[in-house]
């Protein structure tokens, strides 16, 4: 009964929103109609790559190489996904192992990046200890370094820690996230210090203030960092290339990169590559759609003081 009531409430809410939308549409003047028309065209144009990725994954081999290329698949097939899953039948490492590794690494790395960025930003924003500005400046300075420069130092650190060919070797190199610290600190600066002082007077501990006061206020920023972290971790190839010699510890992006690498032609495995591209893209789309309202709230409130 609860499920039925939930869907009923969702339906009522949708009907209410549609009525309001229709009423708002009728109130638009000529200029607003023109703006709405161009924004609609822009939205459709921005959706085209997503539609193409979905259609491309279901194209048979003869449609993948048509010229001029077709945007909408004419004869959809699941053969590309079957080919992707069957390519590792003759090896000891199935595709499911790469997918499993990617899921574990992405979830762990995203959680670690969100937690460390939040705690670091909280200390820099709400505790003006000596050298806080210097620490924040160093964090911002680290944004100037390109990932290629950091490969050798990261390899030396991972090797000395003895975490090669482990999940820690995937996760730890991605924990430090300067962009997340910057975004979170700027958002936490908007939390009134008077609220924190009142909580201290009431006997709240530091950890309780962080969880019950700061975190609920900065939830939009946390969602934004989670999306950025997820995208970076899900598509990361560097850790598999540098730190994983054991094939069973490598992730799906590395496997996808190796599908068409070092081939004598550009025809073989293109169907499997198209199916793999959709598998790589779909989780990122779902995560973004799930957190999109929080991201918009972050952009709307990031300039409010």
Q: How far apart are alpha carbons 138 and 178 in whole angstroms?
A: 9
Name the H helices within the chain.
2-26, 30-57, 61-64, 79-86, 95-126, 132-141, 147-161, 167-175, 178-188, 193-201, 206-209, 215-217, 219-234, 238-243, 252-259, 270-301
**pLDDT on residue 266:** 58
Q: Which residues contact 128 (CB under 8 A, 6 or more apart)?
A: none
Per-residue DSSP letter, 246 = S
- Per-residue pLDDT of 226-275, as tens digits, reads 888 998 899 888 888 889 988 889 998 888 887 766 554 456 677 788 88
Query: From CA 86, how far away is CA 21, in angstroms rounded?
Result: 48
Q: Which domains does the chain have, with CATH numbers?
A: 2-86 (no CATH), 95-301 (1.10.3720.10)
What's the whole-model pTM score? 0.76
57-61: average pLDDT: 84
pLDDT bracket for residue 23 (50, 70, 90): low
Residue 125 pLDDT level (bands cut at 50, 70, 90):
confident
Mean pLDDT of 278-284: 87
CB 227 within 8 A of CB 291: yes
What tokens does 254 get?
A: 């590395």
The confidence score (pLDDT) of residue 91 equals: 65
């Amino acid at each position: 009964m609860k499920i039925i009531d939930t869907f009923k409430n969702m339906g009522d809410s949708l009907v209410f929103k549609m009525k309001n939308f229709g009423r708002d549409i009728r109130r638009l003047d000529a200029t607003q109609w023109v703006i709405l028309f161009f924004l609609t065209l822009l939205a459709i144009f921005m959706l085209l790559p997503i539609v193409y990725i979905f259609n491309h994954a279901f194209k048979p081999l003869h449609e993948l190489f048509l010229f001029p290329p077709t945007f909408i698949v004419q004869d959809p097939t699941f053969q590309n996904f079957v080919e992707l899953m069957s390519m590792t039948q003759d090896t000891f490492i199935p595709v499911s192992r790469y997918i499993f590794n990617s899921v574990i690494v992405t979830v762990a790395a995203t959680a670690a990046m969100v937690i460390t960025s939040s705690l670091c930003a909280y200390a820099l924003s709400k505790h003006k200890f000596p050298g806080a500005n210097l620490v924040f400046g160093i964090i911002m300075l680290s944004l100037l370094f390109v990932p290629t420069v950091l490969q050798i130092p990261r390899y030396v650190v991972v090797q000395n820690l003895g975490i090669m060919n482990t999940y820690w070797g995937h996760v730890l190199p991605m924990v430090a996230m300067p962009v997340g610290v910057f975004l979170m600190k700027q958002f936490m600066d908007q939390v009134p210090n008077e609220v924190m002082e009142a909580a201290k007077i009431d006997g709240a501990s530091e950890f309780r203030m962080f969880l019950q006061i700061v975190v609920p206020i900065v939830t939009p920023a946390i969602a934004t960092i989670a999306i950025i972290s997820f995208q970076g971790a899900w598509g990361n190839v560097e850790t598999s290339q540098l730190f994983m010699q054991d094939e069973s510890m490598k992730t799906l992006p590395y496997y996808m990169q190796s599908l068409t690498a070092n081939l004598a032609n550009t025809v073989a495995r293109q169907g499997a590559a198209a199916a793999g591209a959709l598998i790589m893209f779909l989780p990122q789309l779902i995560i973004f759609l799930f957190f999109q309202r929080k991201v918009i709230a972050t952009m709307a409130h990031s300039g409010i003081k």
